[in-house]
């Protein structure tokens, strides 16, 4: 049964189906739906969860074993399957169909994946999921719908309706839903009562509009160390900048790491960029980063960002400002980073 994303909460309030399949073009929206389902499941005492990342080499016996095993801790369990691609092959399709058809009553099966083409949506395994559970598809948020989406997200966080603010966020984030959501969350922190001081916010935005953490990241990925230094000095006075930068950089590098690993197999940058739906305006930036750095380098950066995050949370004692600056310059190729 197909469910529109905006109807999911209502459906979950009425009943919890045994199977949920969430897919589409926008990772952030998929994650939001998954969070809604898991929250509803917890309320129904599904207190134990096991997750599987599934590719063409996945051993499906792991799931069959999990299904047949009785939990010692919780009678109700969630099995989450994240399909790295919709091309799961004949073996994968047959195994998935068998799991769906023999699923015990005490297990909630949650499956998610990226955008699927028409042929994949006509496959037997897809039809089985559609008939046996709830299917939620997320489409790409087009530019002409972005302001409405931002307004909706603001309302869900308790922020008062403000079209001027929504327009400003849409303009600054250029269709990047993750960046838009981060900006909305910043608003909630700055205005916990939900009443945004529009003039104050726009003044601050205008003062910072020349440079953002996303401009800083792009400058580093594009190899422009002079621009990195310039922007970094501009943003360094913002006390919340390290939090925003480390989070945004982690998401960016995590995505590029996946691209870098795939590029070793595909050998065609354009195919990888298209698969990950990189905007045309950012393709030269990401291409430069992929050409200049190995996936091992990106993985080291992710590890370093983990240490930086712990320091931000006072769980470690690194100089966050200096560490982030050094990390960005290493991305830009100015210094040899040896961590």
Q: HEC string of 102-140?
A: CCCCCEEEEEEECCCCHHHHCCHHHHHHHHHCEEEEECC
Q: What is the dihedral of CA 83, 87, 92, 95, to 10 degrees?
A: 70
pLDDT tens digits for 245-259? 998 899 999 999 999
Three-state DSSP class for residue 208: helix
Count of beta carbons in the 10 Å neighbourhood of residue 162: 19
Is the CB of residue 311 less than 8 Å from the CB of residue 232? no
Is the CB of residue 268 less than 8 Å from the CB of residue 252? no
User: Has residue 160 got a pLDDT over 70?
Assistant: yes
Three-state DSSP class for residue 296: helix
Residue 71 pLDDT class (50, 70, 90 cuts): low
User: Lowest mean pLDDT: which of 36-40, 85-89, 102-106, 279-283?
Assistant: 279-283
The pLDDT of residue 208 is: 54
User: Has residue 228 got a pLDDT over 60?
Assistant: yes
Share the mean pLDDT of the chain. 88
The residue count for the chain? 339
Across the beta sheet with 77-83, what order do the strands follow? 48-54, 77-83, 107-113, 19-24, 134-138
Taken in order 167, 168, 169, 172, is the CA torsion positive or negative? Answer: positive
């Amino acid at each position: 049964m197909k469910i529109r994303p905006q109807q999911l909460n209502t459906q979950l309030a009425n009943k919890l189906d045994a199977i949920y399949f969430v897919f589409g073009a926008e990772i952030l929206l998929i994650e939001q739906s998954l969070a809604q389902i898991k929250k509803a499941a917890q309320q129904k005492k599904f207190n134990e969860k096991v997750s599987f990342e599934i590719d063409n080499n996945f051993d499906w016996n792991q799931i069959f074993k999990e299904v047949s095993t009785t939990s010692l801790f919780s009678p109700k369990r969630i099995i989450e399957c994240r399909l790295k691609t919709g091309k799961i092959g004949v073996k994968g399709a047959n195994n998935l169909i068998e799991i769906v058809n023999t699923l015990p009553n005490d297990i909630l099966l949650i499956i998610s994946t990226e955008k699927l083409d028409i042929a994949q949506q006509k496959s037997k395994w897809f039809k089985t999921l559609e008939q046996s559970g709830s299917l939620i598809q997320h489409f790409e948020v087009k530019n002409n719908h972005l302001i409405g989406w931002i307004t909706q997200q603001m309302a869900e966080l308790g922020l008062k309706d403000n079209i001027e603010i929504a327009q400003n966020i849409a303009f600054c984030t250029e269709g990047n839903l993750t960046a838009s959501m981060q900006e909305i969350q910043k608003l909630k922190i700055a205005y916990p009562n939900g009443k945004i001081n529009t003039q104050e916010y726009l003044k601050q935005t205008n003062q910072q509009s020349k440079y953002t953490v996303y401009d800083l990241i792009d400058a580093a990925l594009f190899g422009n160390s002079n621009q990195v230094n310039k922007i970094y000095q501009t943003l360094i006075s913002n006390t919340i900048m390290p939090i925003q930068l480390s989070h945004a950089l982690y998401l960016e590098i995590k995505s590029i790491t996946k691209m870098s690993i795939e590029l070793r197999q595909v050998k065609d940058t354009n195919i990888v960029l298209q698969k990950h739906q990189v905007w045309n305006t950012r393709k030269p930036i990401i291409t430069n980063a992929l050409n200049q750095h190995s996936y091992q380098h990106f993985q080291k950066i992710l590890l370093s960002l983990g240490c930086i995050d712990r320091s931000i949370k006072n769980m470690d004692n690194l100089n966050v400002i200096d560490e982030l600056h050094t990390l960005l310059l290493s991305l830009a190729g100015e210094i040899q980073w040896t961590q």
